[in-house]
Amino acid sequence: MSVQNFIPTIWSARLNEGFKRSLVYGNCVNNDYEGEIQGQGSTVKINSVGSVTIGNYDKVAGINKPEELTSDQKSLVIDQAKYFNFQVDDIDKAQTNVDLLEAGIKEAAYGLANTADKHIAGFYTEVKAGNIIGDDTTPIIPTKDNAYDYLVDLGVILDENDVPEDNRFVVVPAWFYGLLVKDPRFTKEMDVMRTGFVGNIDNMSVYKSNNVPNVTGTKYKIIAGHRSAISFAGQVDSVEAYRPESQFSDAIKGLQVYGCKVIKPEGLAVLTANKA
């Protein structure tokens, strides 16, 4: 529907924007290989070096001959391509002092980021076997008394997999966060409540997002992990402004390509929590 259907007597200089959800999963991954992509369909080869054997030294027998390093190669495929394409009619543009094109670009940028955020969140399925608490058949039903403890348990799983203490994260849905703020262990620092900062639990930065994946609408996949566990590579491939041939309007279209890969599944842990 064209904006000209909503022409008032006086145009407001302010644009009424819709509510937006927080985008956090893109901050929980690494972008180490982003500069190496070359459009949709390209592949980035990622090499990982195997462990080095540590032996006992004997000054008489000496040491063994040098071992050959092993490597494991994974492929990060740029398999996602998302676009936007919108226009603003010349008549509509003439009747408003709101920059609709600029506003449209902002909305498109947010839409692309939100789509990528959901895509990254979906990689909870590639967690290492055993790094899970609850499942679709027997999900955990957290309460205000134990929600905090379950996040600590996720941290313990990461500890047992030798995951570094720094750059850890966990992303919870809004209802789970609501349980946390009822626990004095989480809110003992006044800055948490005063500034709205989500906080930390067991060296994990706690994020809140409405993009937390869920199954059948109630079983939420709460992902904890280390930033190095998932690699994301993306780029805005093209943004073009043009004049549609059959209309008097300005149009803008854009294309974003990206790919995502779990590099270290042992660096992730997943809690399946049922919203009561």
How far apart, in whole angstroms, are the C-alpha atoms of residue 184 and residue 178?
12
Domains within the chain, CATH numbers bracketed: 22-121+234-262 (3.30.2400.10), 129-231+264-274 (3.30.1930)
Stretch 238-245: mean pLDDT, rounded? 89
Strand duo 219-226 + 230-242: pairing: unpaired
In single-letter form, the type of residue at position 152 comes to: V
pLDDT at 193: 53
Tokens 């626990």 found at? 183
How far apart, in whole angstroms, are the C-alpha atoms of residue 265 and residue 212?
18
pLDDT at 64: 87
pLDDT, one tens digit per residue, over 28-38 is 999 887 766 66
pLDDT, one tens digit per residue, over 94-150 is 767 668 888 888 898 889 989 999 999 999 999 999 999 999 999 999 999 999 999
How far apart, in whole angstroms, are the C-alpha atoms of residue 171 and residue 212?
7
Assess whether pLDDT exceeds 80 at residue 78.
yes
Stretch 28-54: mean pLDDT, rounded? 78
Kindly give the residue spans of alpha helices, DSSP state H, lying in the chain.
90-94, 100-121, 147-160, 174-180, 184-187, 190-195
pLDDT at 261: 93
Going by pLDDT thresholds of 50, 70 and 90, the confidence category of residue 7 is very low
Pick the range with the lowest mean pLDDT from 24-38, 51-65, 255-269. 24-38
pLDDT at 22: 73
Q: How many CB atoms lie within 10 A of CB 239?
A: 14
Q: How many CB atoms lie within 10 A of CB 265?
A: 16
Beta bridge partners of 81: 257
Global pTM reads 0.83
In three-state secondary structure terms, 77 is strand
